[in-house]
Chains A and B, each alone.
Chain A
Amino acid sequence: MSHITIISEKCVGCKLCVGACPFNAIEVTEKKAKILDDCTLCGACVSSCKFNAIDFQKDETDASVDLSEYQGVWVFGEQKNNQVSQVVSELLGEGRKLADKLSVPLSVVLIGSEIEGQAADLIACGSDNVYLVEHESLKNYNDESYADIFVQLVKRFKPEVILLGATTYGRSLAPRVASRLNTGLTADCTSLDIDPETRNLLQTRPAFGGNLMATIICPNHRPQMSTVRPKVMKPLDPDPARKGKIIRPDVHIPTELSVKVIDIVQTLCEKVNLTEADIIVSGGRGLGDPKNFVLVEELAEVLGAAVGASRPVVDSGWVDYSHQVGQTGKTVGPKVYFACGISGAVQHLAGMSSSDIVIAINKDPSAPIFKIATFGIIGNVIEILPELTKEFKAKLV
């Protein structure tokens, strides 16, 4: 069985490993480190030890899979209402780099009904092939049928890397598919790279609410699957002259489905999808009163931005939960994020710290939000917001 042990003769009780352990699972007693039951075998301690006193015995997983059979990078072409989601072009931008490093083709799997018209755009955005599966029953995303078809395609064409958007659909489809294929899946990757020697995908993702980053590999299984949050990767500039192939693979379309999508409801309160927004204006408790939330909405209106909110104001019923940004709400990554009267609790930061530019408006100069702010305004948010709205209106019209 895999285990981590301290080599007692080498350990000097320096406690470096105690600091390196993300799980508080090492204790030093009588100048010797001891691994506690909380150990998850993550291995973070091993490299921290300057005395080679930590022994990590890993049981190798059975490498029964012939890794070389698997070639190519795939992207799941998520679509809704016959419109390919924005995250797909971002995945293609990143997928292109990975495919070039591996010297393999980049392909999109596009499942839907009468969706062929979208294929040209996908090729323009960097794809070499589009695997197109069309059937009237596939118009809307369905966990059961999409997973079934996706698995059929993977088994037939054997890609080595599959990228999916970390969206509602992607985060539901990916674990279902990975579980059926008994392969590895890494959620919410923020950076991807290839180890040229092993062809392993190096998947870096945040853990502990973004306070720790982990690089993860899937060395003995294929395909290597990752989900990537929207707005993290950069799309290529579409090139309509790019050439690519549309392939219509012969797959079995499951018709007797037990999971049925009865209705799809778009709630009207959101003009702009938070997770895909370029600009977000968010309001927090510093606004003082629910009626002041309109100041946030007015600024958002002028900027064509989405409206976000911190947990306390959602819990107090000022705005709907669908606007909540943070660990228990949505994770966003806009170009510009306005935090208005938000102090910046770690749970909130976890949901928005990947924004390119953060603007913090708060009366408390010691508020944690200022630590991650590109621009900070210390002052009364109720006075500043209308000034900002006025100023932008004058400049943007």
Chain B
Amino acid sequence: MNVIVCVKQVPGTNEVKMNKETNTIIRESAEAIINPFDEYAIEEGVRIKENTDGSVTVLSMGIPQVADLLRETIAVGVDNAVLLSDKAFAGADSLATAYALSMGVKKIGKYDLIICGKQATDGDTAQVGPSLAEKLGIPHTTYVRKIEQITENYIRCQRMTEDGYEVIEMPLPAVITVVKEINEPRLPSIKGKLKAKKTEVMVYNADDIGADKNLCGLKGSPTQVVKTFVPEHEISGEIIEGTSREQAQKLVQKLMSMQFMTCK
């Protein structure tokens, strides 16, 4: 079974601080990492490959440096790495990203299943997976917490919901997005690390994958950012003093007077 795992490079931290005087963002320079949710997607892909024979290909869209991160995934069992990199892809929203990835998937060719992390930690949109499935004209299931069964033709998986889960069956090829409950990613092996060093990441530009540049990047993005700002957390916090008992009594009194605690 051939699996494609879509991954995204994200900043290693989400810490953003505001310089109050100049009203600008102070961003701790942080190293880039693979989106943590994508690690579960990679692990699940590798497990499927190990159980069924086949290959795992990681696919990403990003700046040329992302190739180094993709190479690292070889060390945990990925076979091939493909990076879509082109100035034409810059400024893509989730729709334009899904379009470019769909063209990348078509370039890779043979696949049975596409796995994505449930969302990326920088944008948190969770939109690219379902949007990609639509662009490829194949079904999808989000928030997958377990694959119950996978055969050549179909997959049966559990989707996490607010109050439990659903069991869903789909024909393959299909897209799933996974939550962290699905597995525990392995650590890279020494052998894998050596292999990673030698592995060439395939880098394609928009022309290589036959992408229409009108549908890529900022130009292909219906949504536009018009303003960014750091939220003010204006909390006049009150510290409640006293013995444990007094603290509890004071707090309960305060909350009761705010009339939030009337329901049982």
Contacts and interface: CB of A to CB of B under 8 A. Distances in A.
A259 B176 CA distance: 12
Interface string A52-91: 0000001101100000000000000000000000000000
Contacts of A370: 237, 239
Contacts of A350: 14
Contact of A376 (B222, B238, B261): B238
Contacts of A263: 166-167
Taking chain B's interface residues, is the majority helix, strand, or loop, or is none over half, making it mixed? mixed
Contacts of B124: 187-188, 206-207, 209, 327
A218 interface: yes
Main secondary structure of the interface of A (DSSP, over half): mixed
Interface stretch (A93-101, A130-138, A237-245, A385-393): A385-393
Contacts of A322: 160
A172 B161 CA distance: 11
Contacts of B91: 2, 40-42
Contacts of A8: none
Interface in B221-264: 221-231, 233, 235, 237-240, 244-245, 247-249, 251-252, 254-256, 258, 260-261, 263-264
Contacts of B169: 259-260, 262
A328 interface: yes
A259 B143 CA distance: 15
Determine which residue in A210, A217, A380, A391 has the highest number of CB atoms from chain B within 10 A of its CB, and name it.
A391
A174 B127 contact: yes
Contact of A213 (B24, B139, B224, B229): B229
A259 B139 contact: yes
B73 interface: no
Contacts of B214: 62
A346 interface: yes
29 contacts: A19-B25, A37-B64, A39-B90, A42-B225, A59-B219, A178-B127, A180-B134, A214-B228, A216-B226, A261-B166, A262-B156, A262-B168, A265-B166, A267-B163, A267-B165, A270-B164, A278-B263, A304-B263, A328-B36, A328-B180, A336-B260, A357-B260, A359-B251, A371-B235, A374-B237, A375-B238, A375-B240, A377-B247, A384-B248
Interface of A: 1-3, 16, 19-24, 37-44, 47-48, 58-59, 61-62, 143-144, 147, 167-169, 171-172, 174-176, 178-180, 182-188, 202, 206-221, 258-267, 270, 273-276, 278-279, 302-304, 321-322, 327-328, 335-336, 346-347, 350, 353, 357-359, 370-380, 383-384, 387-388, 390-392, 395-396
